[in-house]
Amino acid sequence: MSLKFLGHACAALALAGGLAGQALAQSPGTLKLIVPFPAGGTADVLPRILAEKLRPHYAGGVVVENRTGAGGNIGAESVFRSEPDGLTLLASPPGPIAINHHLYKKLSFDPTRWVPVTVMATVPNVLAVANKVPAQNLAEFIAYVKANPGKVTYASQGNGSTSHLTASMFMQLTGTEMVHVPYRGTAPALVDLVAGQVDVFFDNLSSSAQFHTAGKLRILAVADAERSRVLPQVPTFVELKVPGMHAVTFFSVVAPPGTPPAVAANVQKALADAMAQPDVKARFADQGAEPRGWSTERTGEFIKTESDRWNKVIKSANVTLE
């Protein structure tokens, strides 16, 4: 065990003993938050908002790095193999944390071994359509897709992403058939949706809401139990008689295997304190994101539940990736 590791572990134990502020202020290293998807989407924005608040706690500051590719697996693997000292963390949507081990035949890391830190936020997925699509509501859209089987294209953030699986869930529940067009993240998918290069995108609300409000695309339904406070005029799938259409993207922070619980708790407290600040809440709200800051225990339970949920969708749709 390195002296560097022992130093961080001792600082975390001091925090557990009631010296939280002192322990955080004395952290001598640089915190690296690895985002395994491109800049521009919610997955990138939320960690950057929090990084501003965390910098005073780390002598070397906080760095947010985008390491993209392979459905988030490239960035995730780099964190998985990092030293478990609480200084290199994965900040990501569900893919490499709760979904990819159900999708890929072989991974170079084991997502079941992540050490949970916290859930930054949850955001409902929505059905967003390009303005060229003639349907003005969900019923018209379903009828349109059924009248054009295999011709309507849907974008995703990549193979096996929540947008891909949400579309699979939708097709299962409605008996429709669409063509998948995977992208490398949210931002490029939205660019083509607005341009009319693809027809549909089951995006998370935070990315699409601004374009809906600006009239550049149309959001027809929200895949959550209740309407969103961001777009209260848009109904849920349940209201529109598509029960079971529930898909919420979560953005969580996890640590490499072997990270001591006290170290994870140290970081969780810093993140939760940041998320409790009014300006952070406001900026999350601008993204359509509900801040969480859950404990390490609750985060672990939540990730397990979501992993089981998406595993059922994957098996039903027979989705597999190399």
Mean pLDDT of 19-28: 50
pLDDT of 20 > 80? The answer is: no
| Phi, psi dihedrals of residue 247, rounded to the nearest 5° | -145, 110
pLDDT digits (tens, 9 = 90+) for 89-119: 999 999 999 999 999 989 999 999 999 999 9
Give the burial class of 115: count Cβ atoms within 10 A of its Cβ; 0-12 exposed, 13-18 middle, 19 or more buried: buried
- For the segment 181-209, the average pLDDT, to the nearest whole number, is 93
Q: Angle between the 261-275 and 3-16 helix axes, to the nearest 10 degrees?
A: 60
- Is there a single domain that holds both residue 254 and residue 295? yes
Q: Is residue 217 part of a domain?
A: yes
Both 24 and 72 in one domain: the answer is yes
* Ordered DSSP codes for 123-175: EEBEEEEETTS---SHHHHHHHHHHSTTT-EEEESSTTSHHHHHHHHHHHHHT
Mean pLDDT within 182-204? 94
Q: What is the pLDDT of residues 122-157, one digit of tens each?
A: 999 999 999 999 999 999 999 999 999 999 999 998
The Cα–Cα gap between 280 and 275 comes to 6
Per-residue confidence (pLDDT) for residue 142, from 0 to 100: 98
pLDDT in tens, 262-292: 999 999 999 999 999 999 999 998 888 889 9
pTM as predicted: 0.79
The pLDDT of residue 21: 39
* pLDDT at position 179 over 60: yes
Query: Do 88 and 139 reside in the same domain of the chain?
Result: no
- What value does the mean pLDDT of the chain take? 90
Q: Are residues 17 and 109 in the same domain?
A: yes
Q: What total of structural domains would you count in the chain?
A: 2
Find all residues with CB under 8 Å of 103, minimum gap 6, and list them: 71, 159, 160, 314, 319, 320, 321
CATH of the domain at 172: 3.40.190.10
Handedness of CA 150, 154, 156, 158 (dihedral sign): positive
Determine whether 74 is exposed, middle or buried from the number of CB atoms within 10 Å of its CB (0-12, 13-18, 19+): middle
Please tell me the predicted confidence (pLDDT) of residue 322. 66
CA distance 239 to 248: 17
DSSP letter at 42?
H
Same domain, 33 and 100: yes
Sheet of 88-92, strands arranged across: 62-66, 31-35, 88-92, 248-255, 115-124, 290-291
The mean pLDDT of 163-191, rounded to a whole number, is: 93
- Give how far Cα 171 sits from Cα of 125, 221, 239, Å: 15, 15, 18
Band of pLDDT at residue 30, cut at 50, 70 and 90: very high
Note whether 126 and 221 are within 8 A (CB): yes
**Same domain membership, residue 116 and residue 196:** no
Structural domain including 218 reads 126-222
Is the pLDDT at 161 greater than 50, yes or no?
yes
Residue 300 lies in a domain: yes
Tokens 């993240």 sit on residue: 185
> Do 202 and 278 belong together in one domain?
no
Last residue in a domain, options 222, 240, 258: 222
pLDDT score for 206:
84
Q: Where are the alpha helices (DSSP H) in the chain?
A: 3-16, 20-25, 42-54, 73-80, 100-103, 138-147, 162-174, 186-195, 205-213, 261-275, 278-286, 296-317
